[in-house]
Structure 1
């Protein structure tokens, strides 16, 4: 089990207690939720979004998809999915596709789907395809306190 160095430093620096949950290697957040036997609506999935002047991290439950049209309307900016190269540059200590939703650890603003607020417990990728991080919902809400909250996720 590994946790990305920047993520670990951020969680430790904020005093956020967490547990790691190992699971067999998976390719998607939905597969990770299934492999770890956790509800998909409580696993926060990160989607890197390219803007004309930077990036934003869109965070939705693993059971949902980001509605790019809705998100574009919310942000009132042209956007698209970030390229794999951009994701590698931003999340340089993570495997591609295993980026944590804690944008503050990487200097990336976050917009989070409302459905992830106020949960009892939340899981998210720890930086590889074999480790999830588990935190209380209250601690996840603290981690997301500077994120913009909106409704832009739709069940996949």
Structure 2
């Protein structure tokens, strides 16, 4: 079952979504494999620190962050992956590493890689290591109002 907070958010917004249960796995590539979801549709939430501030990134499982490009987009002097201890307390309803890309729920700014905009749907962790959620990318954009930018490269 998804995080209660995420489920309440989606239900309250009247968004149509599907919950897909799967065996416990921990990486985006493993999720894509066990659920038969295309890696380019599977959004992984990655937490970075930009000049000491927490920022959530949403990018496809098939891509990785280009930190030089990201620094330019953020206008930051330094940008790096955040350490788990820097953000785990921000997601008390989620299993560590299974955060959904809903920064609004957690008061964290979100930047979505523009390549996620290429598909009709987006799939992401539901707050657990055994559930994912599929919604239309248009509904995701409407709910989250994320900044969309190109900051990744293919793995």
> What is the correspondence of 1:125-136 to structure 2 with a 5 Å cutoff?
125-136=125-136
**TM superposition shift of 1:71:** 0.6
Residue 38 of structure 1 corresponds to which residue in structure 2? 37
CA contact (8 A) 1:57 1:108 kept: yes
Using structure 1 for the length normalisation, give the TM-score.
0.92
Residue 124 of structure 1 corresponds to which residue in structure 2? 124
Question: In the aligned structure 1, how far is the partner of 2:150 from the partner of 2:51?
Answer: 22
Deviant stretches of 4+, over 2 Å: 51-54
Indicate whether 1:115 and 2:136 are aligned: no
Question: In the aligned structure 2, how far is the partner of 1:127 from the partner of 1:81?
Answer: 20
**TM superposition shift of 1:115:** 0.7
Q: Is 49-58 or 87-96 further displaced after alignment?
A: 49-58
Equivalent pairs counted in the alignment come to: 154
**TM superposition shift of 1:116:** 0.9
Question: What do residues 2-51 of structure 1 show as CA deviations (whole Å, max 9, x unaligned)?
Answer: 21122222212222121100111111011101110010000111101113
Question: In the aligned structure 2, how far is the partner of 1:140 from the partner of 1:79?
Answer: 26
Q: Which runs of 5+ in 1 are unaligned?
A: none
CA contact (8 A) 1:61 1:115 kept: yes
Per the alignment, in what secondary structure is the counterpart of residue 128 of structure 1? Answer: coil
Question: In the aligned structure 1, how far is the partner of 2:37 from the partner of 2:129?
Answer: 15
Q: Which runs of 5+ in 2 are unaligned?
A: none
Per the alignment, in what secondary structure is the counterpart of residue 16 of structure 1? Answer: coil
**TM superposition shift of 1:79:** 1.9
